[in-house]
Chains A and B, each alone.
Chain A
Amino acid sequence: MARGLVSTINLNLNLVYQDDDLLFNVAPRLNLVKTVSNQFLNGTGANQNRYLYAAKANASTTPTTIDLIPFTDIFGDSITPSVVRFIAIFNNSSTIGENIIFGGASATAKPWHSGTNPADIIPPGGFIFKYAPLGSVWTLTATSADVIAIASATGTPEFEIYIGMT
């Protein structure tokens, strides 16, 4: 395969919820399972992706900005993506207070948010996963909506970010 991305995505949530009021001497239990499972093949249509931005770094209180149009991929090539299909950001810190701030005033790419100067707060040990297999809602626009920013609330927490795009 020439340039391209194939992404296998699985999100699983499995819950055991119990009512402690006994029914026939048994605590009623509900087992809830929620699964998102998909494979994006290489391409630009629905359920497809083509480009990957991946990085592991330390954030600081001064935002790190990532210009996605164009960005230099892991093979050193200049890439011009158009639509974001998924974003996963992990805060690898184990220090309370070292929150990762994704977005904010200096970021111009925010098609996954509405509001003024929006940002997500990701506490230590936490993650955020945004997923959009259909349509082109999360469209990037050169110069006006193509920069993302990552900062820390305090300290220099390590983060990982993975962005799949068409």
Chain B
Amino acid sequence: MSQLVHTWLRLNLGLEYSGEEVVESSPRLSLIKDISSSFGNDYNNQVYVLEQATNVSGLTLNLRSLVDVFGKPFSFSIIKWFGVFNLSAVVGQNILVGGSFATFTKWHQGSLVADIIPPGGCLFRTSGISNLFGTEVDENGIVIYSSTGTPSFQLFIGGLS
């Protein structure tokens, strides 16, 4: 048995926006958006991490049948947060997540939707106070593929088993 004991998550944006000069001075706006959360294992008790390359054929993960970093099998019932990081620095090597009939779709509307993550970029989503991102027997697959080439990616998924 393994468990996620504690999670800290922070997103901090510091934005300095300036307008055109008016009478030798530019109007300026400083915005800080800072969101910081600390979760115990009642909120999320499992994490799945993966770093590897993918290709245009992609790979599929079954969210209800995974093996953790200690080699222990587990199953996600609820996804609380999800992050994908494209490690490529080659323009054009986008990572796509989703887009197949078998994929988990609770965080999307539409049909055959995939997130496109450009090289060096990331996608991070959280479910907040909701249990909306629940896995089901017939909807549990995450498909990760590339638009071209074999970019590497890192995947972090936190949730409840």
**Cβ of B71 to closest chain A Cβ, rounded Å:** 9
List A contacts of B5 (CB < 8 A): 16-18, 29
Known: A20-B1, A126-B125, A162-B15. A74 touches B29 (CB 8 A): yes
Asked if B114 is at the interface (CB within 8 A of a chain A CB), the reply is yes
Asked if B149 is at the interface (CB within 8 A of a chain A CB), the reply is no
A124 to B119, CA, bound (A): 29
A135 to B127, CA, bound (A): 29
Chain A, range 11-59, C-beta contacts under 8 Å to B: 11-21, 28-30, 32, 34, 36, 52, 54
B119 and A134 contacting across the interface, CB-CB below 8 Å: yes
Asked if B67 is at the interface (CB within 8 A of a chain A CB), the reply is no
Residue of A nearest to B46 (CB): A17
B14 and A8 contacting across the interface, CB-CB below 8 Å: yes
**Interface bracket on B:** 35 or more
A52 and B17 contacting across the interface, CB-CB below 8 Å: yes
**Cβ of A136 to closest chain B Cβ, rounded Å:** 8
Partner of B9 from A3, A13, A114, A134 at Cβ < 8 Å: A13
Interface of chain B, helix or strand or loop or mixed?
Answer: strand
A96 to B132, CA, bound (A): 9
As a 0/1 sequence over residues 94 to 121 of chain B, the CB contacts with chain A under 8 angstroms (1 = contact) are 1010110000001111111111111111
Residue of B nearest to A105 (CB): B110
A10 to B8, CA, bound (A): 13
Partner of B118 from A2, A19, A77, A135 at Cβ < 8 Å: A135
A140 to B49, CA, bound (A): 33
A4 to B3, CA, bound (A): 46
Partner of B108 from A19, A20, A77, A118 at Cβ < 8 Å: A118
Asked if B73 is at the interface (CB within 8 A of a chain A CB), the reply is no
A125 and B129 contacting across the interface, CB-CB below 8 Å: yes
B94 and A137 contacting across the interface, CB-CB below 8 Å: yes
List A contacts of B1 (CB < 8 A): 19-21
Chain A, range 114-166, C-beta contacts under 8 Å to B: 114-135, 137-138, 160, 162, 164
A127 and B126 contacting across the interface, CB-CB below 8 Å: yes
List A contacts of B16 (CB < 8 A): 5-7
As a 0/1 sequence over residues 38 to 63 of chain B, the CB contacts with chain A under 8 angstroms (1 = contact) are 00000000010100000000000000
B116 and A124 contacting across the interface, CB-CB below 8 Å: no
A126 to B18, CA, bound (A): 29
List A contacts of B117 (CB < 8 A): 130, 132
A132 and B4 contacting across the interface, CB-CB below 8 Å: no
**Which of B8, B72, B123, B130 lies at the interface centre, i.e. has the most chain A CB atoms within 10 A of its CB?**
B130
Partner of B107 from A104, A112, A120, A125 at Cβ < 8 Å: A120
A9 to B85, CA, bound (A): 15
13 interchain pairs, CB-CB under 8 A? A2-B18, A4-B18, A13-B9, A20-B3, A21-B1, A52-B29, A75-B19, A122-B128, A123-B127, A127-B11, A132-B117, A135-B92, A138-B118
Residues of B at the A interface (CB closer than 8 Å) are 1-21, 26-27, 29, 31, 33, 35, 47, 49, 68-70, 72, 83, 85, 89, 91-92, 94, 96, 98-99, 106-130, 132-133, 154, 156, 158
